Structure 1
Amino acid sequence: MGSPSDDNGFVRLDEITLENGETTTALRTHPKWVSNGRIKGWHPWVELPQNVKFEADVGFVEGAKNTDGVTFQVWEHHKEGGSTVWNKIVDLHKDYTGNLEHMEADLSHLAGQEVGIELRVDAGESSGEDWAAWTNVQIVPRG
């Protein structure tokens, strides 16, 4: 639960109103308050079951109309030959539009492996009002 006034960026799990007007519990993030700033965090490593995918809905906290947009990224981390490998599985630039964007990525090729999931938000030229939000973040069966 970081502080919204931390100029190094922050992450908080809060009940917020999103840019589409929905009020929900979401992961509220803000990248470091510099040009091209970044914030990221990792979910603990877990063994993935068969036939699953990552999915989430992303957008902004209501009122972030002066943002120049952010890039939401998702990375998977796994081991190959004793070394950790990182692969970007989602790369989505988002502007404040009044709508959320859905993202998903197939993880079925990693079934049975220990995998870490990294969520990342990158600012553009400005980090002003980059009040980025993640909701419905989950690993679910592919349908």
Structure 2
Amino acid sequence: MLLHVSTAFVAGEQEGLLMEKPFKPGESLRKGYNLDVQAEIKLVENFKSTLRVQSSSDKLEKKKMKELGLKRARHFGWPNVYSLTKALGEMLLGNLGRDLPVVIVRPSIILSTFQDPMSGWIEGTRTIDMLYVA
């Protein structure tokens, strides 16, 4: 069995009672839109190649890639790139785990580890982590 820890934010900004169900390949939060993971990867690769051909700086490339990610996330109904990529990851796991049972849990927040690699371990400090560290 494979246990994947995702996030409750994968549901985007939907309100009300949301049933826990895995994302099917192609599913998006925006009705009538098909999210093709391979097509998105190709779009990103082509966009990045175009930026490099235009001799853009690393700083400009990073900015443009962030803008593209946000645009694509919103296009498919997610509020940000983080929640979109979590959904993409869940889709890939569901597709790749045909011969292996896959369990996806979606906590609303994760602060630190229980034991591994050590009790209380945090990788970086984001959002509420600063309060926890303090």
- Which category describes the TM-score, using the shorter chain as reference length? under 0.3
Whose strand fraction is larger, Structure 1's or Structure 2's?
1
Give the TM-score taking structure 2 as reference length.
0.22
**Which entry has the higher C-alpha Rg, 1 or 2?**
2
Whose helix fraction is larger, Structure 1's or Structure 2's?
2
Give the TM-score taking structure 1 as reference length.
0.21
